[in-house]
Amino acid sequence: MLRDDFLLEPGLIFFNHGSFGACPRPVMQALQHWQREIERNPVAVLGRQSAALLRQARGAVATSLGALTEDLIFMPNATTGVNTVARSLDLRAGDEVLATDHEYGACDAAWRHLCARAGAHYRRVEIPLPFDPSCWAQRLLDAATPRTRLIFASHITSTTALVFPVQDLCHHARARGITTLIDGAHAPGQIDLDLQALDADFYTGNCHKWLCGPKGTAFLHVRHELQATVDATVLSWGYAEDVAGHEGFEAFLGHTGLERRLQWQGTRDLAPFLAVPAALDYLRANDWPQHRARCHAWALDLQRRVLARNGLQAIAPDHALAQMVPIPLRAVDASALRQRLFERHHIEVPITQHGTRQFVRVSVQAYNSAADLEALEHALAEAGV
């Protein structure tokens, strides 16, 4: 059983892949392999070999996501990807950054803080529910003004699990000279991605969620013409004029601008990045597209049954959801419900909130069984929601 490939505690019914992912055994083995390799000779691996090893690992990620290796650089998480772009933007007083009102709280906070510090405006455009994908991009573009420097939008939203049609937005924003940053924290591994076709100016995505990579793995993809504008959040050797005495420490320098400035951030564990190709191999070996399709269908089916029982409506058409579904609830005490589901039924599932609306955000992953879904459905009914 595929569930046995994961280290999830026996008996735990896990419907929260969306928060931090979950990592299969072969990927954990690759991670531990690289940690041991580093310890065998830290100077050889971190100092002399890591630049080539990282390039190889990045190449595997780039190929799987329709990108060029040189346009992509590893990040520890999508939050850092968003911060890297936001801090590189050189915001001025009066500038404006547009976003949707469905953005992830931590990224919202970063934009709010950085805009306030620069005297710029961070404006969130309401995306009403139920979600209509056909007018989403136009709604954002209509809100843009001559002061709009950048549009920031999730590819798949956090609390509402909506798949935004970002390719359309990027295309039209480019034509109007507006930069785009797409927060793809949940996208790689959950939906098909072709980063070159999507053509965002900046796209950050996680490997540790739906690609099932080790924790602390993500990437930032930058359109070639903009790469020279991107600064690291932690400045290191790539910014030094004199590196005498460190010849041969390729990792300190790198070949491309992105490598030089963004790759070496001081000494840190590089093993998680080197283990990402093992995650790609695992998904490939296990026919992931077939699991994704099954999980999507099961998630929608569960949503339909719970909604029918409660007489409520879905907040999005089926094609605007993937492996996560936001099942609307009548007003509940979210923390009491989460606690009840966990303590009585050993079910891990988040209760999310958007404005005044609440949802059970169910992530269905390949390790979930039909019995897991039944258990959740019964537990929700038993809780009266």
Residues that bind ligand PLP (CB under 6 A): 19, 77-79, 104, 107, 154, 158, 183, 185-186, 206, 218
Contact 72, 58 (CB under 8 A): yes
Q: Are 187 and 194 in contact (CB under 8 A)?
A: no
Contact 188, 211 (CB under 8 A): yes
CB of 211: closest distance to ligand PLP in angstroms? 12
Q: Measured between alpha carbons, how far is 343 from 353 in angstroms, rounded to an integer?
A: 21
**DSSP letter (8 states) at residue 346:** -
Query: CA 360 to CA 312: how far, in whole Å?
Result: 13
Quote the least distance from Cβ 290 to ligand PLP, whole Å: 25
Four-CA torsion 169, 170, 174, 177, nearest 10 degrees: 70
At 312, give phi and psi (nearest 5°).
-110, 170
Q: At its nearest, how many Å lie between ligand PLP and the CB of residue 119?
A: 26
Closest CB to ligand PLP among 46 and 84?
A: 84
Between 107 and 316, name the residue whose CB sits nearer to ligand PLP.
107
In whole angstroms, the minimum distance from the beta carbon of 218 to ligand PLP comes to 6
Q: Which is nearer to ligand PLP, 183 or 372 (CB)?
A: 183
> Angle 334-345/370-382 helices, nearest 10 degrees?
130
* Shortest distance in whole angstroms from residue 204 CB to ligand PLP: 8
Query: What sign does the dihedral 329-330-335-341 (CA atoms) show?
Result: negative
- Specify the residue, 254 or 326, whose C-beta has the smaller distance to ligand PLP: 326
17 vs 296 by CB, closer to ligand PLP: 17
> Helix, strand, coil: what percent of the chain each, to 5?
50, 15, 35
User: Nearest Cα to 151, choosing from 100, 224, 220, 92?
Assistant: 100
Per DSSP, helices labelled H in 239-275 are 250-253, 257-258, 271-274
In whole angstroms, how close is the CB of 105 to ligand PLP at the nearest point?
9
Please identify, using beta-carbon distances, which residue of 109 and 116 lies nearer to ligand PLP: 109
Angle at 312 (CA atoms; ends 308, 316), nearest 5 degrees: 100
Which of 51, 153 has the CB closer to ligand PLP?
Answer: 153
What's the closest the beta carbon of residue 316 comes to ligand PLP, in angstroms? Answer: 15
CB of 17 vs ligand PLP, minimal distance in Å: 11
Two structure tokens written together for 235? 């400045």
Residue bearing tokens 């609440």: 358
**Is 46 or 218 the residue whose CB approaches ligand PLP more closely?**
218
